[in-house]
Amino acid sequence: MIAQYVADGVVSGALVGLGAIGLTLTYAVLGFANFAQGEFLTWGAYFALALLSGTGLGHAAALPPFAFGWPLLLVLPAAVALTGGLAVALDHVLFRPLRRRAGPMGLVIASFGASLALANLVVLLFGPKPRYFSRAIAFAIPVAPGVRLTADRMLVVALALLAMAALHLLLTRSRLGLAMRASAENPALAAVYGVDAEGVRRASWWIGGGMSALAGVLLGQTEQIQPLMGADLLLSLFAAAILGGIGSAGGAFVGGLVVGLAEALSVPLLGAAYRPAAAFLVLFAVLMLRPTGLFGERP
C-alpha cells in the first residue's frame, strides 16, 4: 500500500521537479520569485492541445501500451518551443522593463498579475471545462509487488529523467551552461568576467518555460488539462525550488521528488483533500530550519 503511494509520489514529483527548474533558474539569475511559473505548465499543455486539434491529428489511435497516439509526441517539441517563446516574450514586455523601474517586489507583484492574466486568458480561449488529449483508457500494469502504474506514468518518469540528463549536459558541458551557472551563483561577478547577462537571462526563460511545458503536457496526459492546472501546482514548485537550493536545477528536480513523495504520503495521513497543504508544510519546515533556503546565502 505504502509502495503504491511512493510510486505515485515519484511520478507527480518528477513533474513538480521539471516545473521547478524554471523557477529556480529565473529566481537565481533575475533575483525574483516568479508567481507566473505555474502558468507555463498550463500553457504548455494548451499549446499541445491547440496544435492537436488545429492540425486534426487529435483523433489518431493510441499507441499501445500508451493511452495517447503518436501525434502527441510530434506536437510535444512544438509546445515546448512555444512555451519557451512565451516565457521570453513575457520577460521582454513585462519583467525586463520593470527590472529597471521597480524593485524586486514590483516584479513579484507583476508576476502575480501575469499569473492571473495568463490563467484567465486560457479560460477565455479554451473555456473553463477540463479537456483531455485522448479519450483512451490507460490500464495500470503491475510493476512491483503492490505497485501498479500505467505505461503513461512510467513514461513521465523516463522522460523527466531524460530531460534532466540533457539539461545536466547542457549546464556542465557547454559554454552557455558555464555562463548560466556562473550567473546563478554570482550575477555581478559573472558580468565582470564578460558573461553575456542578457543571453543568460534569455536562456533561463527558454529552458524554464520549455521544461515547464514538458511537465504540463505530461500532466495533461496523465491527469487532465484545465486552466488552473499550473496555478494549483505553484506552491509545490516553490517548495521544490527552495528545498533544492535556489539556482540549482538538479536540486530543484530532487526537491520536486521530495515534495511529490511528501504530498503522496500525506494522503493516507491527512486525506486527499489536504494534499496541496503538504507542499506548504514542507516549504514551511525547510524555511523554519534554514530561513534563507537550504543552500541560499544571498540576501
Partner 1 sequence: MIAHFASYATFFLTLALADGIACLGLNLQWGWTGLFNAGVAGFYAIGAYATALLTAPAQPGLLGGGGLPFWVGWLGAAVLSAAVALAIGRPVLRLRADFLAIVTFGFAVSVQLVALNATALTGGAFGRSFLPHPFASAPATLALVAGLALLAWVGLERLVASPWGRALRAVREDEGAAAALGKNPAALRLQSFVLGAALIGLAGAIRAQFIGFVAPEDFLPVLTFRIWVMLIVGGAGNFTGALAGAVVVSALWSGSGAALTALLPPAWQVRGAAVQVVAIGVGIALLLLFRPRGLVAERVRVSRHLPPPPGSGPRRERGGDGDGRRHPRSGG
Residue 167 interacts with partner 1 (CB under 8 A)?
Answer: no
β-strand partners of 111: none
Nearer to partner 1, 57 or 277 (CB): 277
CA distances from 34 to 24, 50, 90, 249 (A): 9, 25, 11, 16
Residue for grid cell 558580468: 191
Among the candidate windows 97-105, 137-145, 153-161, 176-184, which touches partner 1 by CB under 8 A? Answer: 97-105
Among 60, 191, 197, 277, binds partner 1 (CB under 8 A): 277
Of 296, 275, 277, the closest CA to residue 285 belongs to 277
Residue 133 interacts with partner 1 (CB under 8 A)?
Answer: no
Distance of closest approach, residue 98 Cβ to partner 1, in angstroms: 6
Residue 106 interacts with partner 1 (CB under 8 A)?
Answer: yes
Side chain identity at residue 54, one-letter code: G
Among the candidate windows 46-54, 56-64, 65-73, 234-242, which touches partner 1 by CB under 8 A? Answer: 234-242
Among 242, 243, 259, 264, binds partner 1 (CB under 8 A): 242
CA distances from 32 to 24, 105, 199 (A): 10, 8, 18
SS3 13: helix
Going residue by residue from 12 to 51, which x/- string records binding to partner 1, judged by CB under 8 A?
--------------------xx-x----------------
Which secondary-structure segment (H or E) carries 202? Answer: helix 197-222
Q: How many Å separate Cα 286 from the centre of its chain?
A: 20
| Neighbour-count burial for 164-181, b at 16+ CB within 10 Å, e otherwise | beebeeebeeeebbebbb
Residue 267 interacts with partner 1 (CB under 8 A)?
Answer: no
Among 89, 116, 161, 166, binds partner 1 (CB under 8 A): 116
Among positive and negative, which fits the CA dihedral 35, 230, 37, 126?
A: negative
Instruction: Show contacts with partner 1 in window 178-207 (CB under 8 A).
Output: none
| Torsion angles phi and psi, residue 31, rounded to 5 | 75, 25
Where does this chain bind partner 1 (CB under 8 A)?
32-33, 35, 94, 97-98, 101-102, 104-106, 108-110, 112-114, 116-118, 120-121, 123-124, 127-128, 231, 234-235, 238, 242, 271, 273-274, 276-277, 279-280, 283-284, 287-288, 291-293, 299
